[in-house]
């Protein structure tokens, strides 16, 4: 029977965060940002393994005590130059069965909940393609010209913001990433194969911590979760 695994790319620098410490290690509600998503994923009974893809010269991971996360947590020191490369390297190192499901989740989305995971798993476990958590775009969208003036208003109908986890069969995802490396998420690589991943409605709480001001919001959400 096919298993479910998580794979967490955590080998970036967090350039937009403008901090010396890589974003995934910034302190957030009392622990490194990375620990939040890993705790949620390790706490999900359906997931057999939680792989975390780290930079080969990561010096931070070992400074935190991961013992209580148990054997389920598997660090892989094989991150690459881009997120897609880190995911591809991690998939190769994880040696999963082609039919196993893999849930790729950003280390920079610490507010993931068990409810998000349950929804994704329930909607996709029998899906032939797989899919992603996403949120319908709520704001009015403006296209800018070179002077940062509004060139036009874009219709937002049918537009969704992609989040993670992104859930695909390991074999399909590996094939997709080998054929299409210049992607910012797994779904784009699968789309390039001519397939149509499903959009599973999540919520804006599972946002990606990108800029310094996002830290405060994430801490607020995490303090409500407990």
Q: Where are the beta strands (DSSP E) in the chain?
A: 4-9, 27-28, 31-32, 47-53, 73-76, 101-104, 131-136, 141-144, 150-154, 160-169, 198-201
Residue 15 or 152 with smaller CB distance to ligand CTP:
15
φ/ψ of 142, rounded to 5, equals -115, 135
Residue 49 or 163 with smaller CB distance to ligand CTP:
163
Query: Which of 38, 41, 42, 53: binder of ligand CTP (CB under 6 A)?
Result: 53
Query: Which of 36, 83, 116, 169: binder of ligand CTP (CB under 6 A)?
Result: 83
Cα–Cα distance between 89 and 85 in angstroms, integer? 6
Q: Which residues contact 158 (CB under 8 A, 6 or more apart)?
A: none
Strand bridging mode 101-104 / 4-9: parallel
Residue 16 or 156 with smaller CB distance to ligand CTP:
16
Site for ligand CTP in 148-207 (CB under 6 A): none
Cα Rg of the chain, angstroms: 17
Binding status of residue 108 toward ligand CTP by CB under 6 A: yes
Query: Which of 1, 81, 138, 150: binder of ligand CTP (CB under 6 A)?
Result: 81
Residue 10 or 38 with smaller CB distance to ligand CTP:
10
Binding status of residue 86 toward ligand CTP by CB under 6 A: yes
Query: Which of 32, 80, 130, 205: binder of ligand CTP (CB under 6 A)?
Result: 80
Q: Where are the beta strands (DSSP E) in 60-174?
A: 73-76, 101-104, 131-136, 141-144, 150-154, 160-169
Which residues in this chain contact ligand CTP in the complex, by CB under 6 A? 9-16, 23-24, 53, 79-83, 86, 106-108, 208, 210
């Amino acid at each position: 029977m096919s298993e479910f695994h998580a794979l967490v790319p955590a080998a970036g620098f967090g350039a937009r965060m403008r901090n010396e410490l890589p974003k995934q290690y910034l302190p957030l509600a009392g622990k490194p940002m990375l620990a939040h998503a890993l705790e949620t994923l390790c706490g999900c009974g359906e997931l057999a393994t939680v792989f975390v893809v780290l930079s080969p010269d990561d010096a931070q991971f070992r400074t935190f005590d991961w013992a209580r996360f148990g054997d389920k947590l598997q660090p892989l020191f094989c991150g690459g130059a881009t997120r897609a490369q880190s995911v591809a390297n991690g998939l190769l190192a994880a040696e999963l069965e082609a039919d196993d499901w893999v849930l790729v989740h950003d280390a920079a989305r610490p507010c993931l909940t068990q409810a998000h995971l349950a929804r994704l798993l329930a909607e996709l476990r029998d899906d032939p393609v797989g899919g992603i958590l996403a949120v319908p775009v709520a704001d009015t969208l403006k296209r800018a010209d070179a002077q940062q003036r509004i060139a036009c208003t874009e219709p937002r109908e049918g537009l969704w913001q992609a989040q993670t986890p992104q859930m695909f069969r390991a074999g399909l995802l590996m094939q997709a990433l080998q054929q299409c490396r210049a992607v910012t998420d797994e779904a784009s690589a699968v789309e390039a194969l001519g397939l149509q991943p499903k959009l599973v409605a999540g919520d804006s709480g599972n946002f990606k911590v990108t800029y310094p001001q996002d830290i405060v919001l994430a801490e607020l959400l995490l303090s409500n979760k407990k």
